[in-house]
Amino acid sequence: MSKTQEYINKGEQYLLKTYNRYPVVLDRGEGVYLYDVDGRKYLDFGAGIAVFALGYGNQKYNDALKGQIDKILHTSNLFYNVPAVDAAEKIVKTSGMDKVFFTNSGAEAIEGALKVARKYAYLKDPSKEYEFIAMHHSFHGRSQGALSVTGNTHYQEGFVPEKLRAVFAEFNDLEDVKSKVTDKTCGIICEVVQGEGGVYPADKEFLAGLRALCDEKDILLIFDEVQCGMGRCGSLYAHDLYGVKPDVMTLAKALGCGVPVGAFVTAEKASHALVPGDHGTTYGGNPFATAAVSAVYDIFEEEHITDHVKEVGAYLYEKLEELKAEYSQITDHRGLGLMQGLEFSGPVGDIIVRAMDKGLILMSAGTNVLRFVPPLVITKEHVDEMCGILRSVLTA
């Protein structure tokens, strides 16, 4: 029996089956390649669902984590710690926002953002039962609060009763959003680029309209940048491409580049909604996780990651356009930077499996979209390699 099959058998025996995992047992990474326990090599165009922005084995990143292990891993939020303060400063200064709360995941960051908006409204008028406007086909996480604003009933059924769900509007349809606003609306939440929903970038006019609407009604605008933020779209924060600032922004995934960490970031308007006792976390902002965050910001700056993403992202766009022109089953192509999608006329599951057999890791977004979210350090040569493998799969 191969090592792969041995671990798959153990996994089926001991892990709660909430995923239909691919029959691959990954063991290590190097650069933008992954290796399984049997030594097979894979070009990684998924980055652990848009997480491993710096690729595998970045020495400065690894050294920062190793150094922190020898100091202290955890203190609780009853105390300050150096990496958390340093990381928060970098987020505030680069975002132009005001305050940071560190979490353990993107879903927890969303939960905190929702609490900020509810409390902001409650402080103005505690008599109402407040609600959110969210977007159809959005995805904000698997916890119950995050599910309540996730625009896909498949994820909500059995977990979030209809009366607890947000009011949903069409993404990129400002008039539809306006029609849903009432005196009970406390916040509007949307992804700057919808990820799980099919890789749909927002229109600039849509985000600007949401900003004006929230200013007019004195409600909070929340941008979910868990997947599309941290350089993935060609700017450090995706909303920078649009010139529109949120009141609350959520981050995770590439924020820690592999270490589980998230954050919600508040503009000054929203920073005073939560006071001591309103929110907390045992592990959030611990020295180990925030040492990773701090290192990520340093490396992004030193290695000019966003400039690199713009260049290679444009090349990826060009090459995916060529594939779209070659194959009739590809019906659309969209995205920004190194967050792009190819839409097919049918399901893409078989394409992903066949590509994996040839040493290429790809992801889907929904059933019929191939999602390209590789490490941000890929080169044009890696794009060519990916396209070569994908082309052989599509031809076959």
Residue numbers in the known binding site for pyridoxal 5'-phosphate are 106-107, 139, 224-227, 282
Distance, CA of 233 to CA of 63 (rounded, Å): 27
State phi, psi for 377 to the nearest 5 degrees. -100, 10
Angle at alpha carbon of residue 339, lines to 335 and 340, rounded to 5°: 45
* DSSP codes, 197-220: TT-EEPPHHHHHHHHHHHHHHT-E
Distance, CA of 45 to CA of 51 (rounded, Å): 11
Residues 73 and 81: beta-carbon distance below 8 Å:
no
End-to-end alpha carbon distance in the chain: 30
Which residues are CB-neighbours of 132 under 8 A, at least 6 positions away? 114, 117, 148, 149, 166, 167, 185, 186, 187, 188, 189
Q: What angle do CA 202, 383, 203 make, to 5 degrees?
A: 5
Task: Assess contact for 338 and 315: CB atoms under 8 A.
Answer: no
| Binding-site residue set for N(2)-acetyl-L-ornithine | 142, 281
Cα 157 to its chain centre, rounded Å, is 23
Q: Report the 3 state secondary structure along 72-133.
A: CCCCCCCCCCHHHHHHHHHHHHHHCCCEEEEECCHHHHHHHHHHHHHHHHHHHCCCCCCEEE
Residues 6+ apart with CB under 8 A from 209: 174, 177
Kindly list the strands in the beta sheet with 339-344, ordered across the sheet, starting from the edge strand earlier in the chain: 330-336, 339-344, 369-372, 363-364
Question: Considering only CA atoms, which of 220, 213, 261, 254 is closest in space to residue 101?
Answer: 261
- Measured from the Cβ of residue 62, the count of other Cβ atoms closer than 10 Å reads 13
Residue numbering of the annotated binding site: 106-107, 139, 142, 224-227, 281-282
Please, what's the largest Cα pairwise distance for the chain? Answer: 65
SS3 state of residue 267: coil
Q: What are phi and psi of 9, to 5 degrees?
A: -60, -45
